[in-house]
Amino acid sequence: MFASGVTVAAARHRGRLHAITATAFASLSLDPPLVLLAIANHGRLLKIIRDAGHFAVSVLGSGQRQVCDWAATAGRDDTENATAGMRAARSGAPLIPGAIAWFECRLESLSRHGDHTLLVGLVVDAWADADGDPLVYFRSGYHQLGARIAESTGVPEADHPPGYRVDAAGLGR
């Protein structure tokens, strides 16, 4: 068992919109910037992503448990009325308002494994709130991050702007 950030993966195509809670999301490559997303073979989202050729993943903040529960509810209303607060990425993929980060992706490949399909997405645009606190899922419950244990040996925090964007041309714009 390990803690996982909570994301919402979403796509829109020809009036069809669907979003799901997804914890199987990871960075795959920095050059080119690729992400990996695993979703159920039988879900509506997979068909919409195949048809649209793009998708978005929003990383939920610690105060967005209700959004997570909404996206995890089977059979819910996905009409424009129910999703009115969402804004669209350049591709039209839905972004969750209040998320602490998001990735807009062009579908690069699909690979079916058991009851899930792995999607590889090329990140064409991204944004992150450097001060945002993520919603974390661990041991069948939601959590927040606590205080930092020790400073990392990476880039000093002062070198990160408060919000930054990433696109296919490179990191840290």
pLDDT tens per residue, range 113-161: 999 999 999 999 999 998 899 998 888 888 888 777 766 555 555 554 5
What is the pLDDT at residue 92?
87
Range 14-34 average pLDDT: 92
- Residue whose tokens read 């993943």: 57
The band of 2, judged by pLDDT with boundaries at 50, 70 and 90, is: confident
What distance, in Å, lies between the first and last C-alpha atoms of the chain? Answer: 35
* Measured distance CA(131)–CA(101) in Å, rounded: 10
**Domain covering 4-13+26-133, topology:** Pnp Oxidase; Chain A (2.30.110)
Q: What is the reported pTM?
A: 0.82
Q: Tell me: the pLDDT tens digits for 32-90?
A: 999 999 999 988 899 999 999 999 999 999 999 888 888 888 877 666 544 557 888 99
How many residues are recorded in the chain? 173
Backbone φ and ψ of 166, nearest 5°: -130, 140
Beta-strand relationship, 33-40 and 54-59: unpaired
Cβ proximity of 121 and 37 under 8 Å: yes
